[in-house]
Structure 1
Amino acid sequence: MKKNKFLHDIGLIFTLITRRDKMILFFLLFATLFLTLVETFGVSVIMPFITLATNPDLILNQRIPREIYNFFNFKNTTDFMITFSIVLVIFYIFRAVYNITYNYLLNRFVSRKYHYFSYSIFCRVLRSDYEKFSKKNLDEIRKKIVTDSLRTSQFLSSFLNIFAEISIGLLLYVILLIISWKMTMILTLFLGINVFLIVKGVGRAVDKQGQERSKSEEGFYKIISHTLSNFKIVKLRAKEEEDFRLFEQISLKRSRAQALYGTLTLLPRNILETIGFCILVACVGYILYSYGDAKAVLPIVSMYALALYRVLPSVTRILDHYNAMLFVGKAVEDIYEAMTDEEKVEGDTQVIFEKNIILKNIHFSYPGKRELFHGLNLEIKKGEKVAFVGTSGAGKSTLVDLIIGILQPKDGEILIDGVKLNSENIRSWRKKVGYIPQDIYLFDGSVGENITFGSKMDKKRLIEVAKMTKIYDFLQENNGFDTQVGDGGKQLSGGQRQRIGIARALYNNPDILVLDEATSALDTETESVIMDEIYNIAKNKTLLIIAHRLSTIERCEKKIIISKK
């Protein structure tokens, strides 16, 4: 069952990588095979070197060294061994350089896959349908972009390392069979049984800890997010001990899973190395007991010692990588699900807005909920100031979201100057909208960065919108547009945050300005001042206002009253 899951996860990750990645992967596998030959030669050449160094007469008595000796016309065996030593030194330098280069290419490939996975999911999230996005858990999205993407790339790295270690192990194993197939088969029997038991026992335990780690990590992100995002409420509750206890439980569960995984991964190496070298010592003891002298078989024993010194770590590393792949298998499945989720393609065909917006026979409802709009018809002329009023939950914000293209109607159509709003032109339409929400989100950065919000910074335009929103003088008294707002804008007053939000909405010179309860958190006096400024700014713009206070919408030319059915 676990093996099937293991192979299933490998299949998933191969469907996630591009054709170019597969070509690079093929190149890396080829480079791994060459590395195998280099590593195998590096181990196998030690025995003949030691043998010829301790008994130079064999150079002339053995066929292969004799032919090399004659081909290069060596004067004596000393010259032969000196040359042999120099060649070996050059080879081991080459081996080191090749190993470093190989590992760099491998690490670069894996790191770029981490970038690819995290970037792809980030892009998919931003391109996702708003209605669908609103149902997702932000902590889970963060986890996929940051943690699961990293673990999925590590899964790929472990796969490549397993291939490398298996290749090296197989070649060394063939050499050991040639040297002494009986002794090799005895070692194989003992080690094979142990590897099987380790894979079955430890592998199952590692997979279980991987599932536990994935669950606890979701809770870990969640508690950090909801406590730090509601810090004032946490302080007012004055029950920090409950938060401490909850965080401690989740963190301990997470660290326990990681600790058990770290311990379990050490078991294969300790078990196999102990058994392998005990068998080797037992063989030497048997030879001494049977023949009384181990000189005759010393080169063979030395070769086995060197081979075991190389093979056993390879076997343990294979098991380590196998266990690591089981441990992060859940992350691979989550990334696969995120990257194969249906993606909505939206176009940027130009939309001209010079006359009106017409909503024609609009039907809309959220999945599993009552229908908010049934056959709704509405016209909004360019430059009109329109208010949307009604009780909470009646659908004011939903209607405006339909108008500005954030939500799509289930039936009916929205026409802009007679042109139907659809997936081919929706992005162009959204660019014409400046949106001011009730809660202005300001990230920890400068005022300038918060106003531009990812757009190219134009100092002239910044000054224009800062003056429009009456925040320019405040900035001049501080550090200008480099004034820091603090995380969430905590270094500014509510009115200042609101003005920055309005400046942000105006920065790209939109045709439509939307106020979604934008001033409801302000006192009446501040709200009155800001609304005067907004009406003044929006003289030539279409203004859509969602509000409860009548004072906010008193100058609107059209009032749309929405009530619950």
Structure 2
Amino acid sequence: MFQVLKKLYEILDGPERKALYAVLFIVFVIGVFEIVGIASIIPIISVMDDPQVLEDNKYLFIYKQFLLNVGIEKTSEVLAVLAITSFTMIALSTALKSVGIYLTTKFIELRRHSLSKKLLSGYLRNDYQFFINSSTSDLTKTILSEVDRIVAQLIRPIINMISYVFLLVFVLTFLFFINPLVTGLIIGVFGLLYLVLYVGIRQKIKELGEQTVSANKGRFAVTMEAFTSIKYLKFSGLEHYYTQKFEEESYRFSNSVALQFVFNQIPKHIVELVAFGGIILISIVTLISRLGAGEQAAGTIFPILGAYALSAYKLQPAIQAIFNGIVSLRYGRVALDNLFKSLSEISPDFPRAKDKSDSIKVNFNKYLQLKNLSFRYANRNVNVLDDVNLIVGANSRIGVVGKTGSGKSTLINLVLGLLHPSDGQILVDGVEITDSNMGAWRQLIGYVPQDVTLVDASIYENIAFGLGLDDIDLEFAEHCARAALVDEGLLNNSRDKNVGEGGAKLSGGQKQRIGIARALYKNPKLLVLDEATSGLDPNTEKLVLDSISKFSENLTIVMITHRYSNLEMCNEVYEMFDGKINKWSKNA
């Protein structure tokens, strides 16, 4: 349990920990006011039952003398002042509790915001290889679902548990001074009851936690798989298959959450029964003890029973909240471990490119050199690229051909800085590209993949990807679109019309041309085309490539292609085979 609390504390940053201390302080003050409110009831009941207590009790006698000095003499008036004082204390406690609820809720819900943001930001700043080795549905699940679960089913119950611990300690201390025997009996009975309940369900709660995490992972995986495969899914009539797969995981998830809630609530009703019996038992024990002391039982038992009754009213939700918190620690441990693991994966130790504003400037006026470049993926012994040497002159047109799996995409990913060389160097005008200048290097590159990703926005927003419509240079964006031969009809009617999710309203060729326009909008010095025109017919493809070549005199083009007809525009062509690169003759 303490390990879970420690992990929860460790995922908070400095300002969040200060906010937590502030919340706990407010909770502590609320506990003080709660106990004062409970204590203020006893004098009222005592005076109502026996006015003589104003003379016999030294504290009430001093209070009465104070009131006499301000002109309050009658017992009824003293009782009224006591009632007003008690009401004021309880009202202050209620008002403070409202403030506490606001601050506590705000603290808890903002952790949903900060944890989700921290995860997304951290994931996006990780190396590209991290995403190669990760499941997109898992990452999405962690950010959107697991964080919600941890907030709702772990952080909130635990914060409530801690706040009620303060109240429990204060109330039990107060009751201990009234009657140590009865208070000790309360602690023993309720402590033993909850211990038996917890021991009985702790293993089941752990299993439910594991099952919930597993089923939630399955829900996201099936949903992501269905939507990303929607075209083939519809074609193959697999709607029922995916619905059934989702149903299985969704039922497991919902059933686990329901059972966890039931296990949290069942003790509440058992405790209500025990508490009712406890009040009767306390009445009998107190009556016997008073009679044994030779006191008038009826004259002294009512104030004490009133204090115990009000304390029971306050303690019942407190004890239940503490139990819920302990169960939640057990139930949410697997989800918290996964979150903790995810946060550790985005630690500052991971290599990442600096922001372009912080990067060392890179000039590309002479050449790009790949020197003794080798690459192998983590946990693999075989090089995907093996001692590659290549010089690309500025303003040249380079073609790269090769069979699938020959290393073409890996080569491009290294040039783009998405992967880091295992051995060797990438040099630009003699300067090695490292994390310190990667941001500046990427600013010089325009990249068009085979599968262009479009967002559900206008064509212009997709061309100037990452900018709002008000920040886009529409004239230059249109110039880039025309250079990529984007259809005139699309341009003339596209400012306020969205292209659909993933460009669903466009053809494959239209999407690729928008992707080319996007790369040109960066006004790059190096344009990398990775099968970027494969969705175009040969005639249109030739026109687009010719237009791109004329876009800028200072544009270097590296083109990956499987169509040998595209190589006519290239100054030099290289062929890749088994991770090695060799110059290729057009006449070969």
Give the SS at the match of 2:399: strand
Structure 1 position 372 matched with structure 2 position 384 = yes
1:117 and 2:121 equivalent? no
Equivalent residue, structure 2, for 1:407: 419
2:350 aligned with 1:336? no
Which residue of 430, 438, 451 maps to 1:439?
A: 451
2:177 matched residue in structure 1: 178
Q: CA 1:361 to 1:131, structure 2 compared with 1: closer, same or farther past 3 Å? A: same
- Gapped runs of 5+ residues in structure 1? 1-5
Partner in structure 1 of residue 523 of structure 2: 509
Contact 1:475–1:481 (Cα < 8 Å) also in 2: no
In the other structure, the counterpart of 1:555 is: 569
**Alpha-carbon distance between aligned partners in 2 of 1:285 and 1:490, rounded to the nearest angstrom:** 77
- Mapped partners of 2:264, 2:461: distance in 1: 47
Helix, strand or coil for the counterpart of 2:495?
helix
| Contact in 1 for aligned 2:33/2:90 (Cα 8 Å) | no
Q: In 1, Cα distance between the equivalents of 2:33 and 2:59? A: 20
Taking the aligned partners of 2:115 and 2:406, their CA distance within structure 1 comes to 40
Partner SS state of residue 543, structure 1? strand
Q: For each residue in 1:368-422, what CA deviation from the matched residue of structure 2 results, as whole angstroms up to 9, or x when unmatched?
A: 1522332221100111111110000000111122122221211111111011111
How far did 1:237 drift? Answer: 1.6
Structure 1 stretch displaced more, 325-334 or 264-273: 325-334
2:141 to 137, 140, 143: 143
The match for 2:328 is 324
Give the structure-1-normalised TM-score: 0.93
Q: Distance in 2 between matches of 1:322 and 1:399?
A: 53
- The change in CA–CA distance for 1:65 and 1:288 in structure 2 (over 3 A counts) is closer
1:169 aligns with 2:183: no
Residues 277 and 383 of structure 1: CA distance in aligned 2, closer, same or farther (over 3 Å): same
Q: 1:279 to 1:93 in 2, by over 3 A?
A: closer
Distance in structure 1 (CA, Å) of the matches to 2:577 and 2:25: 68
Q: What does 1:169-248 correspond to in 2, within 5 Å?
A: 169-248=168-247
Q: CA deviation at 1:538?
A: 5.2
Offset at 1:345?
4.1
Correspondence for 2:317: 313
The match for 1:359 among 370, 375, 388 is 370
Deviation at 1:54, TM superposition (A): 4.0
Per the TM alignment, residue 214 of structure 1 is displaced from its structure 2 partner at its CA by 0.3
CA 1:94–1:553 in 2, change beyond 3 Å: closer, same or farther?
Answer: farther
Q: Select which of 530, 533, 553 maps to 2:544.
A: 530
Q: Which amino acid aligns with 1:397?
A: S
Q: Name the amino acid aligned to 2:87.
A: V
Structure 1: distance between partners of 2:414 and 2:159:
49
Deviation at 1:315, TM superposition (A): 0.7
Cα deviation digits, residues 131-156 of structure 1 (max 9, x gap): 22211111111112122223344433
Residue 296 of structure 1: how far off its partner (Å): 4.2
Question: Is 1:357–1:417's contact at 8 Å kept on the other side of the alignment?
Answer: yes
User: What is the CA distance between 1:124 and its match in structure 2?
Assistant: 1.5
1:56 paired to 2:48: no
Q: Distance in 1 between matches of 2:260 and 2:5?
A: 20
Aligned twin of 1:46? 41
Structure 2 Cα separation of the partners of residues 82 and 339 of structure 1: 59
- The one-letter code sitting in structure 1 at the alignment partner of 2:41 is I
- Normalised to the residue count of structure 2, the TM-score between the two structures is 0.90
CA distance in 1 between partners of 2:552 and 2:401 (Å): 20
CA contact (8 A) 1:517 1:547 kept: yes
| CA shift in 2, pair 1:189/1:93, >3 Å | closer
Q: Give the counterpart letter for 1:358 in structure 2.
A: Q
Q: Give the distance between the partners of 1:371 and 1:353, measured in 2 at CA.
A: 28
How far apart, in 2, do the equivalents of 1:240 and 1:305 lie? 59
Partner of 1:469: 484
Q: Distance in 2 between matches of 1:288 and 1:560?
A: 100
- Report what 1:3 is aligned to: none
| 2:383 corresponds to 1:388 | no
1:528 Cα offset (Å): 3.2
How many Å separate the matches in 2 of 1:340 and 1:288?
Answer: 60
- Tell which deviates more after alignment, 459-468 or 39-48: 459-468
Question: Which is worse superposed, 467-476 or 178-187?
Answer: 467-476
Contact 2:49 2:299 in 1 (8 A): no
CA shift, 1:322, in A, is 1.9
1: CA distance, partners of 2:415 / 2:486: 30
Alignment of structure 1 residues 296-307 onto 2, 5 Å? 296-307=300-311
- Say if 1:409 and 1:248 are closer, same or farther in 2 by CA, change over 3 A: same
Paired AA for residue 484 in structure 2: T
| Secondary structure of residue in 2 paired with 1:250 | helix
Instruction: Give 3-state SS (helix, strand or coil) of 2:254's partner.
Output: helix
Partner of 2:463: 451
Q: What percentage of residue pairs aligned between the two structures are identical?
A: 27
Separation in 2, partners of 1:313, 1:89 = 22
Task: Report Cα offsets for 1:329-388 as digits up to 9, x if no partner.
Answer: 222212211222242243321111111111111122223152233222110011111111
Deviates more, 1:494-503 or 1:518-527: 518-527
> Which one-letter code corresponds to 1:311 in the other structure?
L
Counterpart for residue 92 of structure 1: 90
Q: Distance in 1 between matches of 2:459 and 2:491?
A: 12
**Structure 2: gaps spanning 5 or more residues:** 580-588
Label 1:89 to 1:69 Cα distance change in 2 as closer, same or farther (>3 A): same
Q: Distance in 2 between matches of 1:370 and 1:111?
A: 48
Letter matched to residue 326 of structure 2: Y
Deviation larger for 216-225 or 198-207: 198-207
SS at match of 2:575: strand
**The 10-residue stretch of structure 1 (453-462 or 553-562) with the greater mean CA deviation from structure 2:** 453-462
Q: Is the 8 A contact 2:445 2:528 kept in 1?
A: yes
Q: State how far apart, in whole Å, the 2-side matches of 1:343 and 1:69 are.
A: 71
CA-CA distance at 1:106 after TM superposition: 1.6
2:583 equivalent in structure 1:
none
Residue 317 (structure 1) shift: 0.8
The alpha-carbon deviation at position 192 of structure 1 amounts to 1.5
Give the Cα separation in 1 of the matches to 2:44 and 2:241.
Answer: 68
Q: Given the alignment of the two structures, is residue 35 of structure 1 paired with residue 30 of structure 2, yes or no?
A: yes
Counterpart-to-counterpart distance in 1, 2:370 and 2:157: 55
| Secondary structure of the corresponding residue to residue 397 of structure 1 | helix
SS in 2 for 1:481: coil
Aligned to 1:25: 20
Distance of 2:133 and 2:248 partners within structure 1: 27
In 2 relative to 1, CA 209–47 (structure 1 residues): closer, same or farther, beyond 3 Å? same
1:438 CA drift (Å) = 0.9
Query: Residues of 1 paired with 2:223 and 2:298: CA distance?
Result: 65
In structure 1, distance between residues paired with 2:490 and 2:238 = 39
1:299 to partner: Cα distance? 2.2
User: Displacement, 1:217?
Assistant: 0.4
Mean Cα deviation higher: 498-507 or 379-388: 498-507
